[in-house]
Structures are given as structure tokens and as C-alpha cells.
Amino acid sequence: MSFDIICFDCDSTLSKIEGIDELARRVGLVEEMSKLTDAAMNGEVPLEAVYERRLSLIRPDQHSIDWLADLYIAEIVEGVKEVFATLLAQGKVVHIISGGLRQAILPLANCLGLSEDHVHAVDIYFNEDGSYLNYDLTSPLARTGGKALVVSSLKGQASIVMVGDGKTDLEAKQAGAYVVGFGGVVKREIVRNSADFYTTEPTLLSVLEHIL
């Protein structure tokens, strides 16, 4: 199959980490946060039930976000750079759609050749001293069904595919997207059972033949 627009999740898809869990690890809350993240990604609880709670407990500051941005790049999944280079060379339209924090994801996107307007994630806000203030409470990506809304806004008459590891990525089906489940970092049964194609290969190159 060949698609006009290719969308990727970020955490556990482009990078081996879950950003919110890494921020939690820095403040000694990783065990509690990992359980909340898994519950949302496995579809056990709606995303909005955990999103605000996680950030209000962690309260990441500007320094933490800069640190996370570096970690996303350091922990990039095998094959990601090659996949993006191939897609962009062929003139494909590529987007990142993530429930993660946008300012932490932008440097990774830049490394992969994407412009900021092709990164859809949740903005985080800071006080003047760099301490945590809040996040974009209006972002659709901080609640269940958000990825379907973003995909729908991009799709138009084009063919579109969503590549990701979690329950929220399956939402893209509601907007008419083909879903490629990537289990190369984290394997989730709900994604294996519901994606149009599923791979557990550790390299993102394993999805390339299914999107070109």
C-alpha cells in the first residue's frame, strides 16, 4: 500500500522512551507514573483521567523539558532516521502526532527534517523563572479521541496512515486512517489485535514496506 500522508507517534515509536515516565523518574515518581501511562496506553482508562494528574504531580520545569528533548534524540529507535529520509525524499507528507509535550519533541523532529508545523503535541507553559505553570488544557491530544481529530484535520481526500504503539494511535481509524502498530519497543495486545498491520521488529524499517 502507498499513502500520501504518514503520521507517527513519538514515545515508544520514534524514541525508545515514554517521556512522561522519564520526567517522573527524575523526581522519584516513576513507578506510579508508569502504571498510569500503561493504563492509558492499554485502553484501561481514558487518557484525560491520567494526563492532568501526571503533570500536576511531576510539575516539569524548563530544564527538565530540555533534558527530555536530549533524551528523546539519544534514545531514538533504530531505523527512524532512514525511514524519515526515505519518506521525505519521495515527497511524502510526514507528521508527528503525540500526546507528549511539544517542546520536548520539537528538537527530535528537527533532527528528522520536519518543520514545527508538522509536530502535533501538547504545549507546556512555564513561569518567568522556568518553573512549571500549566499545559494546554484545550489540546485534543490530552484527551481520548484527540488523535482522530488531528488525523481528520490533516486527511482531506488524501490517503493517510498512523504508525504507533498505543491505544490512542488506534483512534486514527475513526478518521479513516490505516493503522500500523509498532511493537518494537513495547508490545500491547490491544494494538496487536486491532491494528491493520502489526510488527514487533525492533527497527522502524520494518514498517516501511507497508507504508510505501
Catalytic positions, written as ranges = 9, 11
In the block, residue with C-alpha cell 490517503: 159
Question: For residue 204, what is its C-alpha cell?
Answer: 522502524
Whole-angstrom Cα distance, residue 173 to residue 180?
10
Q: Which region holds residue 203: left if phi is over 0, alpha if psi is between -120 and 50, else beta?
A: beta
Whole-angstrom Cα distance, residue 95 to residue 155?
11
Beta bridge partner(s), residue 180 = 163, 197
Residue 112, phi then psi, degrees to nearest 5 = -95, 5
160-164/124-126 β-pairing: unpaired
Question: For residue 183, what is its C-alpha cell?
Answer: 511493537
Whole-angstrom Cα distance, residue 64 to residue 71?
10
Residue-by-residue DSSP string for 131-144: -EEEE-TT-GGGST
The contacts of residue 131 (CB under 8 Å, 6+ apart) are: 59, 61, 62
